[in-house]
């Protein structure tokens, strides 16, 4: 294994890029939101992202095979694609609103960030454990594409 590469499948920079976008996904949703019923849709979207990341992390921790891990990655990619579509709509809906540090969204943004940090450790372990499996590799390639698209809306 080359330093910074997990079995040639996942360059370290891709993992860091993905983590950055998971955290920033919550921030982006937070950027286009504010408190109150008027922005309930954004608060819900941030929570859906955190839910997806937490559920993925739990599934990966329990995975006993490459097949289970690949299924978790595929399901997570599906959820991220839905989140991405919603984030684009919210960004358009609330264009020009800059509330990155809105105290009203602090709890949601912190939750999304905590989920992303836990994701990082679990994800790296799974990649090292199952990285040579073709089914897992295929799921990872799809996930990487999804993350690239999230970074380039």
pLDDT tens digits along 101-134: 566 667 888 898 899 999 999 999 999 999 999 9
Sign of CA dihedral 141, 145, 146, 151: positive
- Rounded to whole angstroms, the Cα distance separating 49 from 82 reads 10
> Residue 55 — very low, low, confident or very high, per pLDDT cuts 50/70/90?
very high
What is the helix (H) or strand (E) element at residue 10, kind and residue range?
strand 10-11
Q: Tell me the β-bridge partners of 11.
A: 5
pLDDT at position 24 is: 56
Q: Specify the higher pLDDT residue, 38 or 125.
A: 125
Average pLDDT, stretch 90-99? 70
Average pLDDT, stretch 14-41? 58
Average pLDDT, stretch 64-79? 96
pLDDT at position 91 is: 78
Q: CA dihedral defined by 20, 26, 32, 35, rounded to 10 degrees?
A: -150
Average pLDDT, stretch 11-40? 57
> Residue 5 — very low, low, confident or very high, per pLDDT cuts 50/70/90?
very low
String of DSSP letters for the chain: --TTEETTTEEHHHHHHHHHHHHHHHHHHHHT--SSGGGHHHHHHHHHHHHHHHHHHHHHHH--SHHHHHHHHHHHHHHHHHHHHHHHHHHHHTTT---TT-GGGHHHHHHHHHHHHHHHHHHHHHHHHHTT-HHHHHHHHHHHHHHHHHH--
């Amino acid at each position: 294994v080359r330093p910074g590469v997990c079995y040639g499948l996942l360059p370290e920079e891709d993992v860091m890029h993905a983590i950055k976008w998971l955290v920033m996904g919550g921030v982006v949703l937070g950027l286009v939101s504010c408190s109150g019923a008027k922005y309930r849709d954004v608060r819900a979207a941030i929570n859906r992202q955190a839910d997806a990341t937490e559920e993925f992390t739990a599934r990966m921790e329990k995975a006993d095979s490459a097949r289970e891990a690949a299924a978790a990655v595929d399901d997570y990619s599906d959820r991220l694609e839905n989140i991405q579509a919603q984030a684009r709509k919210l960004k358009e809906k609330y264009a020009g609103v800059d509330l990155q540090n809105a105290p009203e969204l602090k709890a949601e943004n912190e939750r999304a960030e905590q989920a992303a940090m836990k994701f990082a450790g679990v994800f790296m372990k799974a990649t090292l454990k199952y990285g040579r499996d073709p089914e897992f590799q295929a799921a990872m390639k799809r996930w990487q594409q999804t993350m690239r698209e999230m970074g380039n809306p």
